[in-house]
Structure 1
């Protein structure tokens, strides 16, 4: 099973959650450390004040007061060594039985010591730990939810922008990011949307200018070419006349193809749909264009499509296979799929990568031409709502697959 890479939304959400957890942990540790240090400082100060009272009371009465002991055998060695020489000190002792805060002072060669329980302060610290834990979890959850909401909004805007950009790439020059993103705060995503729209506007202007020039040239050429065809037919029979007539016919076909490309570029063409038996339709059309081609119908299905445009696609594919490939040519109909295969050198890597391009055949091995046949076929299939894919067969030859939709658009 192929795992999909995580989207930006989940990566950013995870980053926000991790940062929130780190910040909450750091703050909790800081608060706990400061609280514990404050507790210990307060306990030491209180115990030091008490031992001072004990020392003064002992100096006056000679008695150990406030529960203190004189030369106690249980005094910690660390505290005992600290008070030698007439000093006063405090000490926190932790044992399996509990925690104690000690204070001791040396007077007249004797050591007065005072011990008080520290467990209540440990319990307060434990309660603080629970509060900090609950608070940290709440902060992480809340920040994660807010992060997901904010990142989801940004991700949604970027997905909409990407969808609009893909529509432009697919030929829909009316698609704009500003039309699909309603809420547009001034941020990097808005700048990206503005840049994409600017690029699409500039591209549309250039395409319109190119289409206009192409259509104008073709229209201007159509009239003189029509007259040239008529004049060529009037030439007396001879070899030069045949050559002129052949070249004039090629020129006429080229002009008609350019006009058709110009019409398809406007994206205003609409299919006139009707029901037909696809296998039988293909068999009849192939017999009229390429009688030597072998037609196989694996599954006969009824297709709702435009017969005129479908015939145009089949003719262009068969002419391309006959002109640039090698026999035998096989045409296979399987349901709504039509495969056209020849046994020539196959398509070039450039055509397989970028698709057909007008006025470029892509490979000298497949002969010469204007590159308009496959370009027109791709555009006509797009009008039909289908797809046209190009590949090279494993054992050699070019393979074109036409897929018609179940529900035409």
Structure 2
């Protein structure tokens, strides 16, 4: 808008000054034409810059005079701008005068040059100031958007910390308002999640002691079906408690990895054998990866157990470089799980379980720096694909 305004003002000044300059020269030329016409009619001698049918007179102006009209026109004569004025004379002749227009042309040219220079300076200054102002705003908006993405990815410690939100004496613009609202939202969300995590961890921790005693008491029951049912329920509760404690540790994002180099194929084969299930392992391409063996076995064990529990045989584990795929031939994952990932205590289709196994697998994969994706095979069955960090030697 500033550039357009500068251009419009320049054009307005150019038109106004040019019109005034040309108008003054035209009036001067017409006044001189009247004087020359009177001299011609009186038979007196004409001045040097006037005459009958002058050679330099433009043809269009000559035709206008032959029609009995008077007119003016700017044209060059011997390379110099001249304001011509012409009118009718006797016997089909034209009386004409020429007024030097060089000064007027120089005035307009100088004005145009001044307008161009001042417009360029004004536009350049406006662009610099505008770029500086816009860059400051967009940089702050970009920072706010980056922090929002970090929060959505799970980094609840991320904050914009705009200086304007901390100093009440400074002007609060819209960006500062948004940044302050985002920081407040993140702090509130972090507080609520940490409170829930502490509650879950405390409950799970407090349950361990009575469950240990209950497990010991169940072992003292006389053999029989009732005793087996009690032991099964106690073991289920102990497993659930341990899973909740592990999820609480993963949610805290303070887990440390114990890295070492391992051959991926044999490690996957040992994990499949340790699961006690009929799981086929195919090693397409074996690699050595730097990972935490215990956590990786936990991820793979949960994926294999989930495939056997909620899918159908055969269950196939494929190792292709740093990618490990676990596939069953059941009904596949629910749509919500494929789109948003596993959610604790959510199951569909009458499936038994608490949804904690896959949640733990995702959390442990994140600690390993790996990517765990869930999909359904086109020909049927669920496919979990674990991609481990790997660098070619």
Q: TM-score, normalised by structure 1?
A: 0.79
What's 1:41 paired with? 23
* Number of aligned positions between the proteins: 382
Residue deviations 1:334-387 (CA, integer Å, cap 9, x gap): 2322111111111111111111111112x317x221111111111111111222
Q: Which residue of the partner structure matches residue 284 of structure 2?
A: 298
Aligned-residue Cα RMSD (Å) equals: 3.7
> Which whole-Å CA distance do the structure 1 matches of 2:239 and 2:150 have between them?
32
Match of 1:91 in 2: 72
Pairing 1:176–2:162 present: no
Please tell me whether residue 364 in structure 1 is matched to residue 346 in structure 2.
no
Q: 1:87-118 CA deviation, whole Å, 9 max, x = no partner?
A: xx6533559998753456899xx997533254
1:139-185 Cα shifts (integer Å, max 9, x gaps): 55554455444433333322222222222222221111117999997
Aligned counterparts of 1:355 and 1:302: Cα–Cα separation in 2: 28
In structure 2, do the counterparts of structure 1 residues 96 and 337 end up closer, same or farther at CA, with 3 Å as the change threshold? farther
Matched, 1:160 2:143: yes
- CA–CA distance in structure 1, aligned partners of residues 162 and 296 of structure 2: 34
On the 8 A contact 1:218/1:259 being kept in 2, the answer is: yes
Q: What is the CA-CA distance between 1:69 and the residue it aligns to?
A: 4.3
Which residue number corresponds to residue 207 of structure 2?
A: 221
Using a 3 Å threshold, how does the CA distance of structure 1 residues 333 and 199 change in structure 2: closer, same or farther? same
Structure 1 moving runs of 4+ over 6 Å: 55-61, 70-75, 80-83, 95-99, 104-107, 179-185
Query: Whole-Å Cα distance in 1 between the matches of residues 3 and 379 of structure 2?
Result: 59
Distance (Å, rounded) in 1 between the aligned partners of 2:273 and 2:77? 100
Residue 30 of structure 1 pairs with residue 15 of structure 2:
no
Distance in 2 between residues matched to 1:402 and 1:135, nearest whole Å: 64
Could you say which residue in structure 1 is the equivalent of 2:367? Answer: 383
In 2, distance between residues paired with 1:70 and 1:47?
Answer: 15
Name stretches of at least 5 consecutive residues in structure 2 with no aligned partner. Answer: none
Question: 1:145 and 1:305, CA in 2 relative to 1: closer, same or farther beyond 3 A?
Answer: same
Q: Secondary structure at the match of 1:178?
A: coil
Counterpart residue number, 1:248: 234
Contact 2:82–2:99 (8 Å) recurs in 1: yes
Give the deviation of 1:245 after TM superposition.
Answer: 1.8
Report if aligned partners of 2:249, 2:255 keep a CA contact under 8 Å in 1. yes
Change (3 A) 1:144 1:299: farther
Asked whether 1:336 is paired with 2:318, we answer no
Match of 2:196 in 1: 210
How high is the TM-score relative to the length of structure 2? Answer: 0.82
Q: Is the 8 A contact 2:162 2:179 kept in 1?
A: no
2:265 to 271, 274, 279: 279
Taking a change above 3 Å as real, the CA distance of residues 180 and 331 of structure 1, as seen in their structure-2 partners, is farther
Please give the alpha-carbon distance, in whole angstroms, between the structure 2 residues aligned to 1:332 and 1:135: 72
Q: Which runs of 5+ in 1 are unaligned?
A: 1-18, 84-88
2:244 corresponds to 1:258: yes
Q: CA deviation at 1:295?
A: 0.9
**Aligned-partner Cα distance in 2 for 1:401–1:332:** 9
> In the alignment, which residue of structure 2 is the partner of 1:15?
none
CA contact under 8 A between 1:338 and 1:402: conserved in structure 2? yes
**Contact 1:391–1:398 (CA<8 Å) still a contact in 2?**
yes
Give the Cα separation in 1 of the matches to 2:314 and 2:203.
38
- 1:320 Cα offset (Å): 0.8
Asked if the contact 2:165–2:180 (Cα under 8 Å) also holds between the matched residues in 1, the reply is: no
Cα displacement string for residues 238-270 of structure 1 (whole angstroms, at most 9, x for unaligned residues)? 222222221221111111111111122112211
Over 3 Å counting, the alpha-carbon distance change for 1:65 and 1:210 in structure 2 is same
Match for residue 398 of structure 1 among 382, 386, 389: 382
